[in-house]
Amino acid sequence: MPNQLNDHIVKSYDDERSRLINEILRMGEMAAAQLESALDVVERRDDKAAERIIANDEAIDALEHEVSQDVMKLALRGPMARDLREILAALRIAADIERIGDYAANVAKRSTALNLAPPLPHTRGLTVLGQLAVRQVRDVLVAFRTNDAEAAQRVRDQDAEIDTVYTSLFRELLTYMMEDPRAITPSTHLLFMAKNIERIGDHATNIAENIWFLVHGDEALPPRDKRDETNTVS
Protein backbone atom coordinates (compact mmCIF):
# COMPACT_ATOMS: atom_id res chain seq x y z
CA MET A 1 0.00 0.00 0.00
CA PRO A 2 1.48 3.42 -0.92
CA ASN A 3 2.43 5.39 2.15
CA GLN A 4 0.18 8.26 1.22
CA LEU A 5 -2.92 6.05 1.20
CA ASN A 6 -1.85 4.44 4.46
CA ASP A 7 -1.41 7.87 6.04
CA HIS A 8 -4.81 8.85 4.79
CA ILE A 9 -6.48 5.82 6.40
CA VAL A 10 -4.67 6.37 9.68
CA LYS A 11 -5.52 10.05 9.71
CA SER A 12 -9.11 9.27 8.97
CA TYR A 13 -9.29 6.74 11.86
CA ASP A 14 -7.89 9.40 14.18
CA ASP A 15 -10.38 11.95 12.90
CA GLU A 16 -13.31 9.65 13.48
CA ARG A 17 -11.90 8.66 16.84
CA SER A 18 -11.66 12.35 17.91
CA ARG A 19 -15.20 12.88 16.71
CA LEU A 20 -16.36 9.97 18.91
CA ILE A 21 -14.47 11.22 21.98
CA ASN A 22 -15.87 14.73 21.48
CA GLU A 23 -19.41 13.44 21.13
CA ILE A 24 -19.07 11.60 24.42
CA LEU A 25 -17.59 14.64 26.17
CA ARG A 26 -20.38 16.82 24.79
CA MET A 27 -23.00 14.28 25.87
CA GLY A 28 -21.47 14.11 29.34
CA GLU A 29 -21.37 17.86 29.76
CA MET A 30 -25.00 18.08 28.64
CA ALA A 31 -26.01 15.50 31.24
CA ALA A 32 -24.08 17.31 34.00
CA ALA A 33 -25.69 20.62 32.98
CA GLN A 34 -29.13 18.99 32.94
CA LEU A 35 -28.63 17.77 36.50
CA GLU A 36 -27.47 21.23 37.60
CA SER A 37 -30.51 22.83 36.01
CA ALA A 38 -32.79 20.22 37.59
CA LEU A 39 -31.43 21.03 41.07
CA ASP A 40 -31.93 24.70 40.40
CA VAL A 41 -35.50 24.10 39.26
CA VAL A 42 -36.25 22.14 42.45
CA GLU A 43 -35.08 25.06 44.58
CA ARG A 44 -36.88 27.69 42.51
CA ARG A 45 -40.06 25.59 42.10
CA ASP A 46 -40.13 26.54 38.43
CA ASP A 47 -42.41 24.24 36.42
CA LYS A 48 -41.70 25.92 33.09
CA ALA A 49 -37.96 25.39 33.45
CA ALA A 50 -38.64 21.79 34.48
CA GLU A 51 -40.49 21.25 31.19
CA ARG A 52 -37.50 22.55 29.27
CA ILE A 53 -35.17 20.13 31.05
CA ILE A 54 -37.47 17.23 30.26
CA ALA A 55 -37.55 18.28 26.59
CA ASN A 56 -33.74 18.70 26.44
CA ASP A 57 -33.22 15.06 27.31
CA GLU A 58 -33.94 14.16 23.69
CA ALA A 59 -30.74 15.85 22.55
CA ILE A 60 -28.71 13.52 24.79
CA ASP A 61 -30.54 10.49 23.42
CA ALA A 62 -29.81 11.67 19.88
CA LEU A 63 -26.11 11.99 20.69
CA GLU A 64 -26.06 8.45 22.09
CA HIS A 65 -27.41 7.29 18.76
CA GLU A 66 -24.61 9.13 16.94
CA VAL A 67 -22.02 7.57 19.24
CA SER A 68 -23.40 4.14 18.49
CA GLN A 69 -23.19 4.86 14.71
CA ASP A 70 -19.62 6.07 15.03
CA VAL A 71 -18.61 3.03 17.06
CA MET A 72 -20.00 0.85 14.26
CA LYS A 73 -17.99 2.77 11.66
CA LEU A 74 -14.78 2.54 13.67
CA ALA A 75 -15.34 -1.16 14.43
CA LEU A 76 -15.58 -1.87 10.69
CA ARG A 77 -11.99 -0.68 10.33
CA GLY A 78 -10.80 -3.63 12.41
CA PRO A 79 -9.15 -1.84 15.35
CA MET A 80 -6.95 -3.91 17.65
CA ALA A 81 -6.12 -3.98 21.35
CA ARG A 82 -6.38 -0.52 22.89
CA ASP A 83 -8.32 0.99 19.97
CA LEU A 84 -10.86 -1.78 20.21
CA ARG A 85 -11.16 -1.44 23.97
CA GLU A 86 -11.64 2.28 23.48
CA ILE A 87 -14.62 1.97 21.17
CA LEU A 88 -16.27 -0.71 23.30
CA ALA A 89 -15.74 1.45 26.38
CA ALA A 90 -17.16 4.43 24.43
CA LEU A 91 -20.33 2.47 23.69
CA ARG A 92 -20.82 1.61 27.34
CA ILE A 93 -19.91 5.08 28.59
CA ALA A 94 -22.45 6.63 26.21
CA ALA A 95 -25.13 4.29 27.62
CA ASP A 96 -24.22 5.41 31.17
CA ILE A 97 -24.38 9.08 30.21
CA GLU A 98 -27.74 8.53 28.55
CA ARG A 99 -29.02 7.09 31.86
CA ILE A 100 -27.57 10.03 33.80
CA GLY A 101 -29.52 12.33 31.50
CA ASP A 102 -32.69 10.29 32.12
CA TYR A 103 -32.25 10.55 35.87
CA ALA A 104 -31.66 14.31 35.66
CA ALA A 105 -34.85 14.68 33.59
CA ASN A 106 -36.64 12.54 36.16
CA VAL A 107 -35.59 14.87 38.97
CA ALA A 108 -37.05 17.76 36.96
CA LYS A 109 -40.24 15.80 36.27
CA ARG A 110 -40.82 14.92 39.92
CA SER A 111 -40.17 18.53 40.93
CA THR A 112 -43.42 19.50 39.23
CA ALA A 113 -45.26 17.04 41.50
CA LEU A 114 -43.38 18.44 44.48
CA ASN A 115 -44.59 21.95 43.61
CA LEU A 116 -48.20 20.91 44.20
CA ALA A 117 -47.48 20.79 47.96
CA PRO A 118 -45.94 23.43 50.27
CA PRO A 119 -42.09 23.53 50.19
CA LEU A 120 -40.26 20.94 52.30
CA PRO A 121 -37.12 21.82 54.27
CA HIS A 122 -35.35 18.77 52.78
CA THR A 123 -35.00 20.11 49.27
CA ARG A 124 -31.77 21.69 50.53
CA GLY A 125 -30.35 18.25 51.34
CA LEU A 126 -31.27 17.15 47.83
CA THR A 127 -29.26 20.03 46.38
CA VAL A 128 -26.19 19.07 48.43
CA LEU A 129 -26.48 15.47 47.23
CA GLY A 130 -27.01 16.62 43.65
CA GLN A 131 -23.96 18.90 43.70
CA LEU A 132 -21.79 15.96 44.74
CA ALA A 133 -23.15 13.99 41.79
CA VAL A 134 -22.56 16.88 39.35
CA ARG A 135 -18.94 16.99 40.52
CA GLN A 136 -18.58 13.22 40.08
CA VAL A 137 -19.87 13.42 36.52
CA ARG A 138 -17.58 16.33 35.60
CA ASP A 139 -14.55 14.67 37.26
CA VAL A 140 -15.09 11.41 35.44
CA LEU A 141 -15.38 13.28 32.12
CA VAL A 142 -12.00 14.92 32.76
CA ALA A 143 -10.55 11.46 33.54
CA PHE A 144 -11.99 10.22 30.23
CA ARG A 145 -10.63 13.17 28.23
CA THR A 146 -7.14 12.77 29.71
CA ASN A 147 -7.16 8.94 29.76
CA ASP A 148 -6.35 9.08 33.44
CA ALA A 149 -7.19 5.73 35.05
CA GLU A 150 -5.98 6.88 38.48
CA ALA A 151 -8.27 9.93 38.40
CA ALA A 152 -11.10 7.59 37.37
CA GLN A 153 -10.35 5.41 40.37
CA ARG A 154 -10.56 8.44 42.67
CA VAL A 155 -14.02 9.27 41.25
CA ARG A 156 -15.08 5.72 42.00
CA ASP A 157 -13.83 6.00 45.57
CA GLN A 158 -15.71 9.27 46.10
CA ASP A 159 -18.99 7.53 45.38
CA ALA A 160 -19.06 6.45 49.05
CA GLU A 161 -19.63 10.10 50.01
CA ILE A 162 -22.75 10.31 47.84
CA ASP A 163 -24.02 7.10 49.39
CA THR A 164 -23.53 8.43 52.91
CA VAL A 165 -25.33 11.71 52.19
CA TYR A 166 -28.10 9.82 50.42
CA THR A 167 -28.60 7.43 53.33
CA SER A 168 -28.82 10.24 55.85
CA LEU A 169 -31.33 12.15 53.67
CA PHE A 170 -33.36 8.98 53.33
CA ARG A 171 -33.55 8.55 57.11
CA GLU A 172 -34.47 12.20 57.64
CA LEU A 173 -37.26 12.00 55.13
CA LEU A 174 -38.71 8.89 56.77
CA THR A 175 -38.75 10.61 60.16
CA TYR A 176 -40.40 13.64 58.63
CA MET A 177 -43.11 11.52 57.03
CA MET A 178 -43.89 9.91 60.37
CA GLU A 179 -44.28 13.29 62.01
CA ASP A 180 -46.64 14.72 59.41
CA PRO A 181 -48.83 12.56 57.16
CA ARG A 182 -49.36 15.53 54.82
CA ALA A 183 -45.63 15.34 54.04
CA ILE A 184 -45.86 11.73 52.85
CA THR A 185 -46.57 12.32 49.17
CA PRO A 186 -44.03 15.11 48.59
CA SER A 187 -41.44 13.29 50.72
CA THR A 188 -41.91 10.17 48.63
CA HIS A 189 -41.13 12.20 45.53
CA LEU A 190 -38.03 13.56 47.27
CA LEU A 191 -37.00 10.01 48.20
CA PHE A 192 -37.17 8.98 44.57
CA MET A 193 -35.35 12.12 43.44
CA ALA A 194 -32.61 11.38 45.96
CA LYS A 195 -32.45 7.80 44.70
CA ASN A 196 -32.14 9.11 41.12
CA ILE A 197 -29.16 11.18 42.16
CA GLU A 198 -27.59 8.29 44.04
CA ARG A 199 -27.97 6.25 40.82
CA ILE A 200 -26.21 9.02 38.88
CA GLY A 201 -23.26 8.48 41.22
CA ASP A 202 -23.35 4.76 40.36
CA HIS A 203 -23.28 5.54 36.65
CA ALA A 204 -20.31 7.89 37.14
CA THR A 205 -18.66 4.92 38.85
CA ASN A 206 -19.46 2.66 35.88
CA ILE A 207 -17.85 5.22 33.60
CA ALA A 208 -14.78 5.29 35.86
CA GLU A 209 -14.55 1.49 35.58
CA ASN A 210 -14.77 1.69 31.80
CA ILE A 211 -11.93 4.22 31.74
CA TRP A 212 -9.85 1.82 33.81
CA PHE A 213 -10.68 -0.97 31.34
CA LEU A 214 -9.77 1.11 28.30
CA VAL A 215 -6.41 2.11 29.80
CA HIS A 216 -5.44 -1.10 31.59
CA GLY A 217 -7.44 -3.78 29.80
CA ASP A 218 -8.47 -6.63 32.01
CA GLU A 219 -6.25 -5.85 34.95
CA ALA A 220 -8.65 -5.85 37.91
CA LEU A 221 -9.57 -2.72 39.84
CA PRO A 222 -9.24 -3.03 43.61
CA PRO A 223 -12.57 -4.12 45.17
CA ARG A 224 -14.66 -1.57 46.99
CA ASP A 225 -17.57 -1.50 49.39
CA LYS A 226 -21.09 -0.85 48.26
CA ARG A 227 -23.05 1.53 49.22
CA ASP A 228 -26.76 2.38 49.38
CA GLU A 229 -27.38 1.58 53.05
CA THR A 230 -31.08 2.39 52.89
CA ASN A 231 -31.82 -1.20 51.86
CA THR A 232 -31.59 -2.17 55.48
CA VAL A 233 -33.03 0.93 57.18
CA SER A 234 -35.63 -0.26 59.67
**Size of site (CB under 8 A) for a second copy:** 38
Residue closer to a second copy by CB (options 21, 117) is: 117
Q: Name the minimum Å distance from CB 76 to a second copy.
A: 6
In angstroms, what CA-CA distances link 31 with 15, 121, 218?
24, 26, 28
Is residue 213 a contact partner of residue 152, using CB atoms and an 8 Å limit? no
Provide DSSP, the chain.
--HHHHHHHHHHHHHHHHHHHHHHHHHHHHHHHHHHHHHHHHHHT-HHHHHHHHHHHHHHHHHHHHHHHHHHHHHTT---HHHHHHHHHHHHHHHHHHHHHHHHHHHHHHHHHHTTSPPPTTHHHHHHHHHHHHHHHHHHHHHHHTT-HHHHHHHHHHHHHHHHHHHHHHHHHHHHHHH-GGGHHHHHHHHHHHHHHHHHHHHHHHHHHHHHHHHHTTPPPPP-----GGGG--
Rg (CA), the chain: 20
* Residue 10 binds a second copy (CB under 8 A): no
For 193, how many CA atoms within 13 A lie in the half-sphere containing its CB? 32
Binding range to a second copy, per CB under 8 A, among 17-25, 71-79, 120-128, 138-146: 71-79
List the one residue from 21, 75, 142, 221 that touches a second copy (CB under 8 A).
Answer: 75
- Stretch of 39-47, 69-77, 123-131, 137-145 contacting a second copy, by CB under 8 A: 69-77
Binding track, positions 84-113, relative to a second copy; x by CB under 8 A: xx--x--xx--x----------x--xx-xx
CB of 194 to a second copy, least distance (A): 11
Q: Is the separation of the CB atoms in 94 and 66 below 8 Å?
A: no
Site string for a second copy, 150-189 (x = CB under 8 A): ------------------------x--xx--x--xx--xx
Nearer CB in complex with a second copy: 131/188 = 188
Tell me which of 19, 26, 138, 195 binds a second copy, using CB under 8 A.
195
Q: Does position 122 bind a second copy by CB under 8 A?
A: no
Least separation in angstroms between residue 174's CB and a second copy is 6
Q: Does 60 bind a second copy (CB under 8 A)?
A: no
For the bound state, the minimum distance from the C-beta of residue 173 to a second copy, rounded and expressed in Å, comes to 9
- Which residues lie near a second copy (CB under 8 A)? 68-69, 71-72, 75-76, 78, 80, 84-85, 88, 91-92, 95, 106, 109-110, 112-113, 116-117, 174, 177-178, 181, 184-185, 188-189, 191-192, 195, 218, 230-234
